Structure formats: structure tokens, C-alpha cells
Amino acid sequence: MSRLLGTIKRMFGGGGDRPPDLDATLNELRTRTPTPVFWLVGKTQSGKTSIIKYLTGADDAVIGAGFRPTTKTTRRFDFPSPDAPLLSFLDTRGLDEPGYDASADVAALDSQAHVVVVTAKATDFAQGNVRAALEPIRAASRSRPVVLCVTTLHEAIPRQPHPTPYPFAQWAVGSGQWADKPAAPDSLPTAHFPLPTIPDDLRRCIEEHARAFAGLFDVLVPIDLTRPDDGFPDPEYGGEQLKQALLTTLPGAYRQTLLRLKDATDALKDVHQRHAEPVILGYSTMAATAGAVPVPFVDMVIIPGIQARMAADLAKQYGQSMTMDRYREIAAAVGVGLVSRQLARQATKFIPVVGSAVGAAVGGASTYALGRALCYYFQAACEGHVPDAQTLKAYYREQYSAAEQRWKKDAAAAK
């Protein structure tokens, strides 16, 4: 029996057992929460960190501090935090060194990754070690998509602008040429490739990488992700096409996680909220997983623990202290009626499938709404005033209603 179900039995089995280990339960929930895992393969300075920055919005300091070793030659970065990750990145290092042996990495990481992302600088054709590392990764799971990113395009066309609009089509795998129509599967992103608009030097660079990695990738995406102060008109050139390729190749539930992050952060202008939103989404997704457990009443014990940890993390984002008294104050302000709603929901868990779907939607939505209410509270505190309980409750209910509908829609789309 899983640790999660074992915890549930101890929780309700009586007999004077110790209180359940919340950390152990949360660890198991993390393994069940749909977190896309991208396996990055490429030489040092080939653009792997730029891809992470583009997909997450995190800065160099956050990414650098967030990586932790997994094997002697790999490390992992969980965004926004290891406690409640939304996206995870596995970085294979040491590919520049002769004699790199990928066998240990394949054994350790193969079961974790959903998509492999290979990075190669446009003008760097010495990719023998990268190809040698990719071959066993590809052989271990041929059904797992491999996206080849040809990066730093500006180095192939110095002092020339990028061709616009973005003209690159999918490389026709197996034919060795650019295709006007998609190669199988039909669902992969496509666009016409008007060769005359592409500088010859850049086109030759991309095609050389396609030949060098022939048979080892499914989608080729040329990108040029630069810093805003580098002076390029579009510092995220090809970024949307890369994101679309990843969305298309991810399994359903994992695709929805990436879409939810994108939709929630694209329109945000406030710096605090933009950094807080991934934290809220991470804990909300974990709470939805807890809410889907088909055992009545278990999430009423686990979800408050998830929400308390979220509150502490959000307080740090706003430079606020989160004391128990303050948490009780906020929870009391938004919590009127929540207990009766949760108790009523537990009865539905006796209904197969339906009960889990309802529990997931309410668990995710209630945690998301609480996170947004906390941000509303902390922002007001930063500005020198505290919202009254009635205002906070109204804000919570508004966020809850919208989030519950979105959670149900996402769950349906992920099936």
C-alpha cells in the first residue's frame, strides 16, 4: 500500500498511532502531481539557461541557486520551488568533456523526463559528444519527443536582422529537407518555409545541425533568446514557437500545467504578483492532487498543511512576516462557509470518478483563491493598510468562483 494511503489509515484508524507525517504525504503527492519534466542536453553556454528563463520568467540568480545535484554529471531545477514545482528541468553536464558516459544519467533520469530538449549553437558544429550522449537517451525511449533547438542565430548572421515574421517550418524528419507540410504526426506545429527570406549562412547552419542529429529528434526549432539590453529587436525570437512545440509534444495533463502557467502570468504587470503566481499555481496543483484522492475527509487534513506552506512562501515574496495569528486572521476572514462546503463535498467522493474530479477542482480552486487573497492582503500591507474582513472575503469568493470553473475546464481538456 502506498505511503499516502498508509497515512490515511493511521489518520482514521485510531489506536493511538502517531500523527501522520505531513512531509512524507506531501512528497508522495508531488510524485503524483502533473509536473512537466524537461531533460536538457547540450554543451555549456549553448542556451539551456536561456530556455529555462524564457519558460519560467525566473532570473539567473534564482535559476543558479535552484539547481541541485542529482548525479555526478546532472542537476535538477524545480520551478518555482521543490516543495510545489510546476516545471522541472534536468540539466546534463559534462558533454564538452571527452569520454562522457551517459549510461548513469540515462538510468537515473530516463523514467523522469517527458520531453528531451537539445541545444546547439548555430555556428558550433562540434556536436559529436552531444550526439553521443543523445543516442542512448533516444534509444531508451523512442516514444519520448526530442526537440532540437538551434540557438544564438545572430552569430550566424552578424549585423543582420532576424528574418521576420518567423519563417522557419518543421524539418521533415527522414527526408533531409524543409517541408511545406508537416511530417508525422500531423499535430506538430507547421508553417511554410520561404527559403528566399532566410540568409544563406543561417539556413546552411540550421540544415547542418539537422543533418548532424538526423534520426535523433522529432521537432527542430531555431531560436534566439537574448537579453533585452543586447539590443536585438526581438529578444525572444522563436520563443513562442518553442513553447508551442513543447505544448504539442507533452502529454495532456502536463500540457495543461504549462498552459495554466502561461495564461496566468502573461497578463500580469505587477512584479510581486508575477513572481507570486507560479508559487500559487504550484501549491494549487498539489492541493488538486490531494483533493482527487478518492478517500473522504483526507484532503481536509492535508490541504490545510499545503495552504499553510503556501502562505509562508508568499509572505517571503512580499517581504512580510507570516505569524500564526496573522494566518488565522486571514483564514477566518475568507473561511466562513468553507467547512460546510468541504463537508458536503466529501459525500461525492463515494461516487467513482465524479467524486475525484469534484475534489480536485475544489481543492485546487480553494488553494488558488486563498493564494490570491493572501497576495491582495500582503500588497495592501506593503502600501500601509490592511483590507477589512468583508473586502477580503468578497475578493476570495470572486477568485474561487473563477478558479473552480477553470480547474474543471482544465481537467476536462487533460483527459
The full 3-state SS of 263-287, as one line of letters, equals HHHHCCCCHHHHHHHHHHHHHHHHH
Instruction: Please name the helix (run of DSSP H) or strand (run of DSSP E) that holds residue 50, with its range, or none.
Output: helix 48-56
**Beta carbons within 10 angstroms of residue 137's beta carbon:** 22
Q: Are 386 and 352 in contact (CB under 8 A)?
A: no
Cβ neighbours of residue 394 closer than 8 Å, sequence gap 6 or more: none
Whether the Cβ atoms of residue 304 and residue 361 lie closer than 8 Å to each other: no
CB 356 within 8 A of CB 402: no
Radius of gyration in angstroms for the set of CA atoms belonging to the chain, rounded to a whole number:
23
Give me the phi and psi of 57, to 5 degrees please: 80, 0
CA distance 165 to 179: 17
Look at residue 382 in the predicted model and tell me its pLDDT.
79
Task: Say what the pTM is.
Answer: 0.75
Class of domain 35-252: alpha beta
Q: Which residues, in sequence order, are CB contacts of 264 under 8 Å at separation 6+? A: 277, 281
Which residues on neighbouring strands pair with residue 178, listed in sequence order?
A: 171
- Looking at residue 354, what is its pLDDT? 38
| 415 residues of the chain, pLDDT tens digit each | 344 445 444 443 444 444 456 667 777 777 777 889 999 999 989 999 999 999 998 888 889 888 988 878 889 999 988 888 889 999 988 787 777 777 888 888 888 899 999 999 999 999 999 999 999 999 999 899 999 999 999 999 998 889 888 888 654 444 445 544 433 334 434 333 444 478 989 989 999 999 999 999 999 999 999 998 888 889 999 999 999 999 989 988 788 888 878 776 766 656 667 788 899 999 988 888 876 654 444 455 677 778 888 888 888 888 887 777 777 777 777 764 444 344 444 444 444 443 444 557 778 888 899 899 989 888 888 777 778 888 888 888 898 888 888 777 766 665 5
Locate the domains of the chain by residue range.
35-252, 268-414
35, burial (CB in 10 Å: exposed 0-12, middle 13-18, buried 19+): buried
- Backbone CA torsion sign across 27, 29, 35, 38: positive
Q: Which pLDDT belongs to residue 195?
A: 44
244 neighbors 259 (Cβ within 8 angstroms): no
As a whole number of angstroms, the distance between CA 318 and CA 152 comes to 35
Which residue type sits at 384?
G
